Amino acid sequence: MQYGGRFPLAALCLGVLLCAPIAAWGQSRESERIALMDEIRDDVSHTAELIQGEPLDPRVEDALLTVPRHEFVPLAQRRHAYENRPLPIGYGQTISQPYIVALMTDLLDPQPDDVVFELGTGSGYQAAVLAELVAEVHSVEIVPQLAASARTRLADLGYDNVQATHGDGYYGKPGAAPFDAIIVTAAATHIPPPLVEQLRPGGRMIIPVGPAFHLQHLMFVEKDAAGAVRTRSVLPVSFVPLTGGH
């Protein structure tokens, strides 16, 4: 899905997945994954002026090619799993467009030794992509049923470097901080101060900021070695709103 011609939309991955038991997936649907990656590269080229003209990191491309997206959508949607668009997964919510997942992951510049915090586990797809690239992923989901199903799914797929827990991710996860990178998969009206505090000096955050159900901006946040914070807008997006007691 796109906004204003070529601008992609994204949404927090929420909803109960009515999926069949996890199957062996090594090279499953490989040709579809390759075709999807070609479409993602095309989107990158069309938004080059907004994302500073850099191609995707090959490691990020490999992660997108590896993670079985069809295991993170309901059975009724599996035939569409490798289309470059969000898909409904229940609760009126969607799994995000693969281009947005690729872009947000790439902007974080994930490194093998990184510890990453994710606000909004949803189906677990974004966490799985990150798990291919970093040492640890700590993901917090505010809907308890979703946290439980994602935790089971990720474990069944062998992602033992992901901890998916139930809670209000606005407040981060102080016990696991500081984080090298933070990714937020729902639109906040502002950048949460607890997340800024839990970002390591030199760390990066990617977060959609703006009013609920209106145009928002994907923001890149960087904390320098002295603790100063810089932000820049990457491109317009549309995410579901961040919820919680804050």
CATH for 2-237, options being 3.30.450.270, 3.20.20.70, 3.40.50.2300, 3.40.50.150: 3.40.50.150
Distance of CA 238 to the CA centre of its chain: 14
pLDDT cut 90: percent of the chain above it = 67
Q: pTM higher than 0.85 for the full model?
A: yes
Query: Residue 19: what pLDDT?
Result: 40
Is residue 214 within 8 Å of 190, Cβ to Cβ?
Answer: no
Residue type, 219: M
| Cα(102)–Cα(45) distance, integer angstroms | 13
Residue 246, pLDDT score: 76
Per-residue pLDDT tens over the stretch 85-141: 988 877 666 788 999 999 999 999 999 999 999 999 999 999 999 999 999 999 999
Q: Is 96 an active-site residue?
A: yes
Instruction: Tell me the Cα Rg of the chain.
Output: 16
Count Cβ atoms below 10 Å from residue 58 Cβ, excluding itself.
Answer: 8
Which of these is catalytic: 28, 31, 45, 96? 96
